[in-house]
């Protein structure tokens, strides 16, 4: 899968004035791959649970992540890894067993939410109050255009994304940042090396990831792209995904938020257990990269951020809950 090797110079700028950094690195990516990524492979044992959406508007497939200790953060000693701002130090996180939607939420699934919640339609009061003017900007009506139903919903602000998950009921919400990364890293966690740069391994090609060098277009949420070892799909590229946490570049260094630890003097003794991030902030975390981003964004450790009222052309969602 390594493909031809290219040199890339990348600039990553965090939203709302976060630090920027530039790095040049080698990535192995085959831009010419025409592999069929639409078919469903065998469903892993921890996946396949179908949750009924409210009002008979469809079902959502769930995968489970067992209780355990998982690795979070970037390891600069890993071959080929390039750590960005706010991604260090790598550390262990203890998590309670949870479930998360196997795929990114699709446009047709979001349309079911709009049908049941008119106030979140483009002209609805909550949409007007909580989201910017790019909210569902390319939707002509409250249903997706023909042929786009299975693409990931984008152009949703954080508040709308959280509202969708809450609408599902049964304890659903946006995943925490720690839950998202555990689902992406899978069994390659703090107890089961080795370290993987991406959810699918260390070698990237357009048969396993959807970034800007692979057509610069969203793919159906069920496509076999960005798979993790736990069966989740779309964990690398396709659409950035909102998570629950407020963004801070020093979160991993200063977990208690007291401001007494900053890079490189990080608090490495802290025991993380089901972390949910800060209580307040100005930007929410996005994970996973997108079809318009580069491979650097698609790394499992990559963190981005955006004001919660902003609706990006490249940002969508998935939902999670503690396992019943």
Mean predicted confidence (pLDDT) in 117-138: 97
| C-alpha–C-alpha distance, residues 200 and 207, integer Å | 11
The answer to whether 322 and 158 are in contact (CB under 8 A) is: no
Tokens 């007494």, located at residue:
260
pLDDT of residue 192: 81
20-21-24 Cα angle (round to 5)? 155
Over residues 255-263, mean pLDDT: 78
Predicted pLDDT at 41: 62
Grouping H, G, I as helix, E, B as strand and the rest as coil, residue 184 is helix
pLDDT at 40: 53
The pLDDT score that the predictor gives to residue 253 is 87
Which residues touch 19 (CB under 8 Å, ≥6 apart)? 85, 249
| Beta carbons of 111 and 96 less than 8 angstroms apart | no
Contacts of 10 (CB under 8 A, 6+ apart): 22, 23, 24, 25, 294, 296
**315 pLDDT more than 70:** yes
Which of 276, 177, 180 has its CA nearest to residue 228? 180
Helix (H, G, I), strand (E, B) or coil at 178: helix
Asked if residue 294 has pLDDT above 80, the reply is: yes
State the average pLDDT over residues 206-235.
96
What's the CA dihedral at 209, 302, 68, 230 to 10 degrees?
Answer: -10
- Using pLDDT thresholds of 50, 70 and 90, give the confidence band for residue 269: confident
Statement: residue 38 has pLDDT above 80:
no
Three-state secondary structure call for residue 177? helix
The neighbouring-strand residues paired with 71 are 92
Whole-number CA gyration radius for the chain: 18
Q: Which two tokens stand for residue 74?
A: 């970037």
Residue with tokens 């499992």: 300
User: Is residue 1 predicted with pLDDT exceeding 70?
Assistant: no
Share of the chain above pLDDT 90, in %: 74
Cα separation, 29 vs 6, whole angstroms: 8
What local confidence, expressed as pLDDT, does residue 15 receive? 36
Reply yes or no on whether the pLDDT at 9 is more than 60: no
Could you tell me if 69 and 93 are in contact, meaning their C-beta atoms sit under 8 angstroms apart? yes
Per residue in 60-102, pLDDT (tens digit) is 999 999 999 999 999 999 999 999 999 999 999 999 999 999 9
Residue (of 68, 74, 16) closest to 253 by Cα position: 74
* Bridge partners of residue 146, in order along the sequence: none
End-to-end Cα, the chain, rounded Å:
39
- List CB contacts of 319: < 8 A, sequence separation 6 or more: 60, 100, 101, 105, 164, 165, 168, 172, 173, 174, 175
pLDDT of res. 25? 32
pLDDT tens digits for range 173-201: 999 999 999 999 988 888 787 899 999 99
Q: All domains of the chain, ordered by start, with CATH?
A: 44-322 (3.90.1580.10)
Q: What is the mean pLDDT of the chain?
A: 87
């Amino acid at each position: 899968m390594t493909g031809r090797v290219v040199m890339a110079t990348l600039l990553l700028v965090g939203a709302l004035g976060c630090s920027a950094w530039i790095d040049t690195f080698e990535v192995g990516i085959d831009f010419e791959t025409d592999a069929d990524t639409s078919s469903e492979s065998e469903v892993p044992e921890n996946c396949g649970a179908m949750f009924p959406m409210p009002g008979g508007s469809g079902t959502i497939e769930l995968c489970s992540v067992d209780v355990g200790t998982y690795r979070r953060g970037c390891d600069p000693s890993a071959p080929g890894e390039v750590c960005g701002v706010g991604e260090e130090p790598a550390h262990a996180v203890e998590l309670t067993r949870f479930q998360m939607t196997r795929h990114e939420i699709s446009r047709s699934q979001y349309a079911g939410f709009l049908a049941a919640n008119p106030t979140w339609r483009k002209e609805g009061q909550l949409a007007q109050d909580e989201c910017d003017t790019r909210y569902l900007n390319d939707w002509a009506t409250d249903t997706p255009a023909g042929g786009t139903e299975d693409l990931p919903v984008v152009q949703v602000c954080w508040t709308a994304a959280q509202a969708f998950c809450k609408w599902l009921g049964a304890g659903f919400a946006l995943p925490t940042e720690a839950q998202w990364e555990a689902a992406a890293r899978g069994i390659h966690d703090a107890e089961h090396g080795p370290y993987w740069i991406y959810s699918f391994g260390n070698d990237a090609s357009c048969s396993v990831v959807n970034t800007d060098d692979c057509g610069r277009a969203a793919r159906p949420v069920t496509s076999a792209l960005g798979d993790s070892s736990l069966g989740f799909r779309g964990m690398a590229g396709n659409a950035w995904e909102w998570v629950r946490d407020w963004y801070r570049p020093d979160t991993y260094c200063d977990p208690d938020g007291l401001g007494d630890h900053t890079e490189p003097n990080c608090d490495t003794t802290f025991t993380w257990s089901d972390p949910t991030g800060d209580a307040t902030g100005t930007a929410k975390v996005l994970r996973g990269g997108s079809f318009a981003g580069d491979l650097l964004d698609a790394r499992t450790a990559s963190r981005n951020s955006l004001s919660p009222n902003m609706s990006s052309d490249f940002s969508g969602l998935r939902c999670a809950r503690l396992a019943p």
